[in-house]
Chain A
Amino acid sequence: MPKFKIETTDHLRGKIQAPVILLEYGDYQCEFCKSAEVVIQNLRQSFGSKLAFVFRNFPITSKHPKAFGLACFAESSKNEKEFWKRYDALMSSVKISAKEINAAAKNSKIRRKIDIDISTGVRSGVNGTPCFFINGRRYDGEQNYTAMFEYIQKKLETRK
């Protein structure tokens, strides 16, 4: 099934009540995802509490063989604070030891969580990475700051 509703199991930066939810399906080995991270940070800074960011996994292992393992590493965090620390590290290409990755990848519960992200992502319309949904609608525009800022700004204006 598609999954646009944000749940307590999702990784959220900001408030779930924010008027605009930016949901990303991403891959930690994807260079485009890493470039988009700067855009996301700038958008969060610009919109403050009006924008919440949610991340879900979509490792494309046929192109990025380590992506699933990296996703497992991030998901094996003890709490959300640790998750986002690992997320930031991975998006900054910090090297993680194979030992840590392999240990995380052995956890079937974690693997299942990532499989569910992929399955719901495909059914929601994910068409590559990074794939953004803004308030439940796939964003097919340019993935640069200006284009995304204008799109989100229009969303906020139409809510008034």
Chain B
Amino acid sequence: MQKKGILKAGKIAPHFTLPSSDGSRLSLKKFFGKPIILVFYPADWSRVCGSQLALYNEVFPEFQKYNAQLLAISVDGPNSHAEYAKQNGLKFPLLSDFEPKGEVAKKYGVYSSKGGVTERALFVIANDGRIVWSYRSPMGVNPGADGILKALESIDKKGK
């Protein structure tokens, strides 16, 4: 069977509900009506992931200018997420794609069955639930925030 590729711009973002680092269960649909940034990352507590999430935490005010909601997703369990979010003072929720493992990542075409983790990938979803931009980064490379900001700017311009 051919591996499903990363979902591209134009597709409707698949719905999901996942446990969150704050103890709740969060549904993607809850955030429809505003831009959504989905950050799939391999694991809590790893160096590249740490610096990637720290970067997004630092530039969070830039995302807020677009009224965007950031949701970060890995296959780590809720307890790991809760501790990691607390230790790093994260301003956005971490969601557990834990059970069934990687189910949401598979829907988005970003699950690495070889490593048993989500790949490092970004999606920006417009107010209507449609993906406007997606990007898969090499596992060892922090993709930064410039692609996210360009996508948010394009949503903002279309809305004006």
Contact = CB atoms under 8 A, between A and B. Distances in A.
A127 B144 CA distance: 4
B144 A62 contact: no
A119 B62 contact: yes
A123 B62 CA distance: 10
A35 to B, nearest CB: 14
A59 to B, nearest CB: 8
Contacts, number: 44
A127 B50 CA distance: 11
B55 interface: yes
Contact of B142 (A122, A124, A127): A127
Interface in B51-94: 51-52, 54-55, 57-59, 62, 88-89
Most chain A CB within 10 A, of B58, B88, B143, is at B58
A122 B143 contact: no
A106 B145 CA distance: 29
A128 interface: yes
A128 B146 contact: no
Contacts of B57: 62
B142 A62 contact: no
A122 B145 contact: yes
B142 A2 contact: no
B149 A122 contact: yes
Interface residues of B, number: 17
Contacts of A140: 141
Contacts of A48: none
A122 B142 CA distance: 12
A142 to B, nearest CB: 10
A127 B52 contact: yes
A60 B55 contact: yes
A51 B144 CA distance: 26
A102 interface: no
A95 interface: no
Contact of A62 (B89, B141, B149): B89
Given A127-B142, A127-B143, A140-B141, 5 more contacts: A62-B89, A63-B54, A126-B55, A127-B55, A128-B142
26 contacts: A2-B146, A60-B54, A60-B55, A61-B58, A62-B54, A62-B58, A62-B88, A62-B89, A63-B58, A118-B59, A122-B59, A122-B144, A122-B145, A122-B146, A122-B149, A123-B146, A124-B146, A125-B146, A126-B144, A127-B52, A127-B55, A127-B141, A127-B144, A128-B54, A128-B55, A140-B141
Interface of A: 2, 60-63, 118-119, 122-128, 138, 140
7 closest Cβ pairs, A-B complex: A127-B144, A127-B142, A128-B51, A125-B146, A125-B144, A62-B57, A60-B58
